[in-house]
Amino acid sequence: MEINLLVILDSSDKENYRIAKGTVSLFLKHFGIPYQELDLVKEESINFNASGILIAQEGLGKRMDQRTKKSLYRAVKQGTGLINLDYHLDSYKELHQPLKIERIEKEDKTSLIKIGEKHYINELHPHLLPPPLRGRIEERGMEKQLLQPLKFLKVKTKNKPLLLAEDNSPLLLCSSPKLIQFLISPRLWLPEYFGHCAGLDDILFRAIIWAVKKPFVTKTIPPFVTSRIDDANGSANIFGKRKDSANKNFAYLDMLNKFGLIPNIGLFIDDITEEDSKIIKEKYDKKLADFSPHAFSDPKNINEFPVYMHHNGKEFSKEELKENFARVDKKFQDWGIKPSKTVNAHFDEIGLNSLPFLKERGQIYTMNPIRFGKTWIDEKARDWKPKPYGDTGFNFDYMLDDPDFFNVCTGTKSGPKDYLTPSFDFLYGCTSFWKENSKNDVQKAALRGAEQIKLGLDSGFFGCLMAHEQRIAILSIKEFEEILERIDDSLSDYEKIFASYDEIAEYLYHHQQTKLKEIKIEGNKISCQLAGKSTIPLKLSIFREMRGKIKKELCNLPPFSVEVEVVL
Ligand SMILES: [Zn+2]
């Protein structure tokens, strides 16, 4: 039998078809779910023999003929999982009884989505605490704010909902046989309502995994976790005025390492003291940190002494760049290390003229939410639709202005004008730096840090804890340690693979060059065919179900070129 999710669409309903293709189809591809799209208009009769069925489009229930519906219900009764995104439940009468629907009321709108009854599907989200503890900070994140009110169908049910509207009406129900029913419009996945990479993708992914027949295989990005620290000059940081400031002797690197993180550090290279350069070398040799030339220096935070491009967008000449890169090369040689392959540039400003110099040095990965040759505040800097969703905050794709570079970016959803405040820095608003807060708030910082990593992981990307060293320097080493300890605690339910930014960039580069072609189960044997090319071992996720519990296992693939068949 083939492992496959059947995705039902209808291209004759142009508007809803466009929504499904622009949201759910991209999501399935991004999460590496093996699927096959079927267009109701083109199919004479549908064979529903599959691991699961996803009704991906609003209004399909009305368009499906009786014969098709009958064979759909038969497949569901026989154990094929059904995930129904068509919230017009009135056109699926046979689903009412298994979903314990007592009455269908009217359509309404909600501006909020709340997390409901704890279940495999929503278990990574905070849940309502028992009454004596209710209202505590752990409950933050239980409510997801929509950007504008969205339609849902009000129903009365005896079922315990996994998601709720602001008036506590159910928005997501599940039942056996394996049946998932969304009661909110699939416009939810459009960026103008809520979108992907905004905090609900894990629920859609887990709903699919829960419903489909097991074993099931996906080519999902493994749960890598890393860190990015910008504006680093260690002991020379002018904001570290306390005896025990966390920047002194790069003490914060030890703390990041203590909790497994291997950070990429963007250095102000001319500020580094002789003593600190020894620490850099030691961390580099032990593979506990990567270092990249961020800028020469910048005490005024105006990108006054950049390496790659002027802060006003003016390109350096070839001669100037020769000199800049010679200065950078000399520093790194003196320290006895090589810059990371992933460029960590101040304000992410990288001029077009600097690209040949970076290529020559093998620095071919970037971590940019902005384009080459543009300044941070340039209106055209984010005029770019990188894969998978066209979101400049969450993407991995070739750079638009030079596809010899591969960009890997995670962690912060980008809204219009979001770049005007450094909200992508998890410590932003949590320390007394630039009076962003009246005091250093360890609890708030830990919450923001954990949310940043979780959003990356929940969105099928990777987790990245991002901060600027000046905010770390305001903290004592004890405060920074406590923040990381709390973050670590709140990620205890998460599967994590700690890796450097370079390792993750290289993994994603190969990941996106490969495709799951066919997966078959014969007895206990799962055989997978992949196409594409990878010179590094990639991983597949296998989901199995034992006595109602879903278990995930990561399996290594051998490097391959063109095609490979593996037995798992
Ligand atoms: Zn910077």
Q: What is the whole-number distance in angstroms between the Cα of residue 6 and the centre of ligand 1?
A: 46
Q: What is the whole-number distance in angstroms between the Cα of residue 509 and the centre of ligand 1?
A: 25
pLDDT at 128: 64
pLDDT at 415: 64
Q: What is the whole-number distance in angstroms between the Cα of residue 504 and the centre of ligand 1?
A: 21
Q: What are 517's two structure tokens?
A: 């072609």
Q: What is the whole-number distance in angstroms between the Cα of residue 469 and the centre of ligand 1?
A: 9
Q: What is the whole-number distance in angstroms between the Cα of residue 420 and the centre of ligand 1?
A: 14
- Decide: 94 and 65 in contact? Cβ < 8 Å: no
Residues 106, 110, 112, 113, Cα dihedral to 10°: 30
Q: What is the whole-number distance in angstroms between the Cα of residue 342 and the centre of ligand 1?
A: 15
Q: What is the whole-number distance in angstroms between the Cα of residue 230 and the centre of ligand 1?
A: 5
Q: What is the whole-number distance in angstroms between the Cα of residue 294 and the centre of ligand 1?
A: 6
pLDDT of the chain along its 568 residues, tens only?
899 999 999 999 999 999 999 999 999 999 999 999 999 999 888 889 999 999 999 999 999 999 999 999 999 999 999 999 999 999 999 999 999 999 999 999 999 999 998 999 999 998 766 565 555 545 556 789 999 999 999 999 999 999 999 999 999 999 988 999 999 999 999 999 999 999 999 999 999 999 999 999 999 999 999 999 999 999 999 999 999 999 999 999 999 999 999 999 999 999 999 999 999 999 999 999 999 999 999 999 899 999 999 999 999 999 999 999 999 999 999 999 999 999 999 999 999 999 999 999 999 999 999 999 999 999 899 999 999 999 999 999 999 999 999 999 998 776 666 677 888 999 999 999 999 999 999 999 999 999 999 999 999 999 999 999 999 999 999 999 999 999 999 999 999 999 999 999 999 999 999 999 999 998 889 999 999 999 999 999 999 999 989 999 999 999 998 888 888 8
Q: What is the whole-number distance in angstroms between the Cα of residue 349 and the centre of ligand 1?
A: 9
Whole-number Å distance between alpha carbons of 230 and 271: 14
Q: What is the whole-number distance in angstroms between the Cα of residue 367 and the centre of ligand 1?
A: 12
Q: What is the whole-number distance in angstroms between the Cα of residue 467 and the centre of ligand 1?
A: 10
CATH 3.20.20 fits 224-285+336-504, yes or no: yes
Q: What is the whole-number distance in angstroms between the Cα of residue 204 and the centre of ligand 1?
A: 35
Relative to beta strand 342-343, strand 290-295 is unpaired
pLDDT at 27: 98
Q: What is the whole-number distance in angstroms between the Cα of residue 266 and the centre of ligand 1?
A: 7
CATH 3.40.50.880 fits 5-213, yes or no: yes
Local structure of 265: helix, strand or coil: strand
Q: What is the whole-number distance in angstroms between the Cα of residue 305 and the centre of ligand 1?
A: 11
Quote the pTM value. Answer: 0.96
Q: What is the whole-number distance in angstroms between the Cα of residue 404 and the centre of ligand 1?
A: 24
Q: What is the whole-number distance in angstroms between the Cα of residue 271 and the centre of ligand 1?
A: 14
pLDDT at 412: 79
State the amino acid at position 48 in one-letter form.
F
Q: What is the whole-number distance in angstroms between the Cα of residue 301 and the centre of ligand 1?
A: 8
Q: What is the whole-number distance in angstroms between the Cα of residue 423 and the centre of ligand 1?
A: 14
Relative to beta strand 514-522, strand 525-534 is antiparallel
Q: What are 515's two structure tokens?
A: 């495709």
pLDDT at 340: 98
How is the chain split into domains, by residue range? 5-213, 224-285+336-504, 514-567
Q: What is the whole-number distance in angstroms between the Cα of residue 488 and the centre of ligand 1?
A: 26
Q: What is the whole-number distance in angstroms between the Cα of residue 334 and the centre of ligand 1?
A: 23
pLDDT at 134: 55
Local structure of 269: helix, strand or coil: helix
Do you know the residue count of the chain? 568
- In angstroms, the Cα distances linking 121 to 174, 207, 458 are 9, 5, 12
Q: What is the whole-number distance in angstroms between the Cα of residue 347 and the centre of ligand 1?
A: 5
Task: Name which of 299, 239, 169, 253 is nearest 474 in CA terms.
Answer: 239
pLDDT at 419: 73
Q: What is the whole-number distance in angstroms between the Cα of residue 231 and the centre of ligand 1?
A: 5
Q: What are 428's two structure tokens?
A: 């932003």
Q: What is the whole-number distance in angstroms between the Cα of residue 454 and the centre of ligand 1?
A: 24
Q: What is the whole-number distance in angstroms between the Cα of residue 244 and the centre of ligand 1?
A: 24
Q: How many helices (H) and strands (E) does the chain have?
A: 14, 24
Whole-number Å distance between alpha carbons of 375 and 146: 31
Q: What is the DSSP letter of 470?
A: H
Whole-number Å distance between alpha carbons of 477 and 345: 26
Sign of CA pseudo-dihedral 475, 476, 477, 481: negative
Whole-number Å distance between alpha carbons of 320 and 327: 11
